[in-house]
Amino acid sequence: MFQGLLQNSTLAHFFIKFLLELVLLLTLKSVSKNDSENISRWAFGGIFIILLRDLFLLFFPDPSYRIASDGLVSFCIVGMFFWKSHPKWVLSFGLLSLLFIILPWTLEGLGLLPPLSSRFFILPIPVSAIGLIILKGRPLLDKLFTDRLSRWSIPSALLIPPLWLLFFPTERALLEGLITPLSYLALIFAVLQYGQGGLNALIAERDELSNNLDILYNFVFHSSDSLRAGGDLNKLMGFIAQTLLEGTRADGAMILMVEDFEDVVKTYAVQGLFTPLEPVPDGIPRSVEGIQNWLRELKIPLGQGLLGEIAKKGAAVFIQNAQQDSRIVPHPSLPVGSLIAVPLKIEDRIIGVATVVRRKGVDPFINADFDRASLLADFSSLVVNNIYSFQDVTERSDIDTAATIAEDIQKTLLPKRIPKLSTLSLGAFSESARGVCSDYYDIIPIRRDRIFIILGDIAGKGIQAGLIMVMIRSILHLVTNTNRDTATILNWVNRGITGKIDLDHFATLQILMLDPTTGKCEYANAGHRSPLVWRQNVGLVQTVDLESVPIGVESSTEYRSITFTLEKNDILLLYTDGVVEALNDKGNPYGVRKLISTLQKSNELTAPAIVQLLQGDIKDFTKTVRQHDDHTVVVAKKL
């Protein structure tokens, strides 16, 4: 019976195409897990249309159906390349495609057009789709597919069948038996290449994150030497320059710091072979050693030259081809090829400039180098600020010196501004208990549909707890800018600090990713207290329970995440131990029950007002009793 079916060419062609389509669907399913560009969703749609078309043609062999489906598949192809960046283009293309399909088809049915003339109307649809991809989708095409053959497999598979039908309408057997199956094979090849490209990108992303984590760890570890050396700023600057040099694979690195009383930036450290960016004065030896010695004593007035301008305005500069930039005066024996210069800032105050260069003839810096240099500069600013804080208090001899430094570190880490959103109200407060600095919270807006709320509690006291907080914050700001889920991010943070801190300094940490528009939340927890959620529709407070162990204990711990949704006027409240363990003059704790009661009474207020009310209620409860743990609360209310 099966042999008899294969003798029928129509059925044989159908089974061949059906098997290829099935393979293509399975291939797409396998690569869709790592599909950050939403390619798979549109590809599924196009293949589903083709599958229905072939099934329909098996029973109703009308060429018009094939012609119409080519237009719909073209719409899916355009969606693959442009939905994420230009959804209005895709919708407009879809409406025009439907018009070009329905109008000639209707005219054919009414006898106003000759049979099969609709193919002349529909042919511009796939042709224009390919034109769009070539003219506007080329960067995404090059990004998604790893070689030239796979880049053009999808456009080719899209164009060849309708062109064949246009120019050889009678050669249906060759179209069904060879051309169409070959186009499916081209699609399968392209999808496999896309999957391999996605895998390679994930591996590269993992390696880059791993390298950044190692660099940050070494930075934290070695920068503490400056603290132990009594706040040796010159030693720290040399280490920062060396870290930038190695981290960006530069030829030279230079750190300049602002001298407030002179309105200049002065060189504090030079590592490697730094190439001059401005004319070398007369009288300076033109040898490499002579130029490097001049650079080590360089002073630049604020606002003068490229580096002086950065020190004044605080805008980072990334120049891939320095030979074409008029702000740089090339030196004949040491010409600069590419350059990255980033400001060192403490809050809004510019304290210096970090610069790395590569010589002419060497591969220029890339975006990843700029991102790493910016990350290291931000982290360096934090460490320099800690050194400044340390130097300010070196003359203090009272017992609370370490606690004061730790408090300064904590204040530096906490967010300076809380985002104001139309669909979400946010509020937070954090109060340090004297002698202890262990709470950490952060609100990190990544994009419109992705904002992170972080809350943690570091075990231990003083500067050690503050440095661990620095490590956790740096890792989080690095990895939250990816498409990973909260459980994966928590796993990365745990692996980043486990083995690099004492067991006496483990930390509880909770990470919540929230879509301000839809209210969808994804939550991962590492041993922290369960958040509270006020549900407006039922008038009750619920807890979000997810048991786990703290970070920093075991690197192999695998954390998990759960999802829930905040509806309109629902309130999310995250808090640390110190809130419910706050004691009054009778030794009674504030407790979870009183916290829930306060939240219920304040559900009509905005998040900042709820926070203010909670802060005042805790103060009224504790009065003048000295507390032994920090109080931190973060509130988010869906509007």
pLDDT, position 618: 93
* Per-residue model confidence as pLDDT tens digits over 328-378: 877 777 888 899 999 998 877 888 999 999 988 888 998 888 888 888 888
Give 59 or 530, the one with higher predicted confidence.
530
Q: Evaluate whether 45 touches 28 at the Cβ level (below 8 Å).
A: no
pLDDT, position 180: 64
Examine the domain organization and report whether 600 and 560 are in the same domain. Answer: yes
* Per-residue model confidence as pLDDT tens digits over 289-299: 888 888 888 88
In DSSP notation, 272-299 reads E-PPPSSPPPTTS--SHHHHHHHHHT-E
Rounded alpha-carbon distances, angstroms, from residue 617 to 541, 584, 599, 601, 636: 19, 12, 11, 12, 19
211, part of any domain: no
pLDDT, position 7: 44
Range name among 55-59, 299-303, 404-408 with the lowest pLDDT average: 404-408
Examine the domain organization and report whether 121 and 156 are in the same domain. Answer: yes
Examine the domain organization and report whether 249 and 197 are in the same domain. Answer: no
Determine the Cα–Cα distance for residues 517 and 137; give it in Å rounded to an integer.
29
Q: Evaluate whether 325 touches 319 at the Cβ level (below 8 Å).
A: yes
Closest by CA position to 354, among listed 369, 339, 341: 341
Range name among 250-259, 299-308, 400-409, 585-594 with the lowest pLDDT average: 400-409
Examine the domain organization and report whether 142 and 287 are in the same domain. Answer: no
Examine the domain organization and report whether 570 and 536 are in the same domain. Answer: yes
Please say which residue of 390, 420, 455 terminates a domain.
Answer: 390
What is the average per-residue pLDDT within 443-459? 89
Beta bridge pairs of residue 512: 453, 523
Determine the Cα–Cα distance for residues 546 and 494; give it in Å rounded to an integer.
17
Determine the Cα–Cα distance for residues 31 and 145; give it in Å rounded to an integer.
13
pLDDT interval class at 193 (50, 70, 90): low
294, part of any domain: yes
Which backbone phi and psi does 485 adopt, to 5 degrees?
-80, 170
216, part of any domain: no
CA dihedral 387, 388, 389, 395 (to 10 degrees): 100
pLDDT over threshold 90, residue 475: no
Determine the Cα–Cα distance for residues 605 and 611; give it in Å rounded to an integer.
10
Question: What whole-number percentage of the chain has pLDDT above 90?
Answer: 23
The CATH number of the domain holding residue 473 is 3.60.40.10
Examine the domain organization and report whether 493 and 578 are in the same domain. Answer: yes
pLDDT, position 2: 40
Please say which residue of 336, 356, 390 terminates a domain.
Answer: 390
395, part of any domain: no
Determine the Cα–Cα distance for residues 50 and 52; give it in Å rounded to an integer.
6
Tell me which range, 259-273, 503-517, 541-555, is most confidently predicted by mean pLDDT.
541-555
Examine the domain organization and report whether 418 and 373 are in the same domain. Answer: no
271, part of any domain: yes
561, part of any domain: yes
Range name among 239-243, 272-276, 457-461, 551-555 with the lowest pLDDT average: 457-461
Examine the domain organization and report whether 448 and 507 are in the same domain. Answer: yes
The CATH number of the domain holding residue 6 is 1.20.1070
310, part of any domain: yes
Whole-model pTM: value is 0.47
pLDDT over threshold 50, residue 399: no
pLDDT, position 573: 96
Ramachandran region, residue 226 (left: φ > 0; alpha: ψ -120 to 50; beta: rest): alpha
Q: Evaluate whether 410 touches 441 at the Cβ level (below 8 Å).
A: no
Please say which residue of 181, 202, 223 terminates a domain.
Answer: 202
Mean pLDDT, the chain, whole residue set: 78
Determine the Cα–Cα distance for residues 27 and 40; give it in Å rounded to an integer.
10
In DSSP notation, 470-522 reads HHHHHHHHHHTTSS--HHHHHHHHHHHHTTTS-GGG-EEEEEEEE-TTT-EEE
Q: Which stretches within 60-171 are classed as H helix?
A: 63-82, 87-109, 118-122, 124-136, 138-144, 148-151, 153-167
The CATH number of the domain holding residue 323 is 3.30.450.40
pLDDT, position 3: 44
CA dihedral 456, 457, 458, 460 (to 10 degrees): 170
Rounded alpha-carbon distances, angstroms, from residue 349 to 298, 345, 352: 22, 5, 9
* Per-residue model confidence as pLDDT tens digits over 104-120: 767 766 767 666 555 56
Tell me which range, 16-30, 423-437, 450-464, 584-598, is most confidently predicted by mean pLDDT.
584-598
Range name among 220-229, 288-297, 367-376, 591-600 with the lowest pLDDT average: 220-229
Tell me which range, 191-200, 383-392, 549-558, 613-622, is most confidently predicted by mean pLDDT.
613-622
Examine the domain organization and report whether 70 and 157 are in the same domain. Answer: yes
pLDDT, position 330: 76
Examine the domain organization and report whether 184 and 237 are in the same domain. Answer: no
pLDDT over threshold 70, residue 393: no
pLDDT, position 606: 94
Give 277 or 33, the one with higher predicted confidence.
277
* Per-residue model confidence as pLDDT tens digits over 130-155: 677 666 666 666 655 555 666 566 66
Tell the residue number behind the tokens 């004065």, with chain if given. Answer: 281
Examine the domain organization and report whether 541 and 614 are in the same domain. Answer: yes
515, part of any domain: yes
Which backbone phi and psi does 102 adopt, to 5 degrees?
-70, -40
Rounded alpha-carbon distances, angstroms, from residue 324 to 251, 318, 333, 336, 353: 19, 13, 17, 11, 22
Examine the domain organization and report whether 380 and 427 are in the same domain. Answer: no
pLDDT, position 97: 75
pLDDT over threshold 80, residue 562: yes
Counting the structural domains of the chain, the total is 3
pLDDT interval class at 6 (50, 70, 90): very low
pLDDT over threshold 60, residue 177: no
pLDDT, position 596: 94
The parent domain of residue 259 ranges over 232-390
* Per-residue model confidence as pLDDT tens digits over 511-558: 999 999 999 999 999 989 999 999 999 999 999 999 899 998 888 899
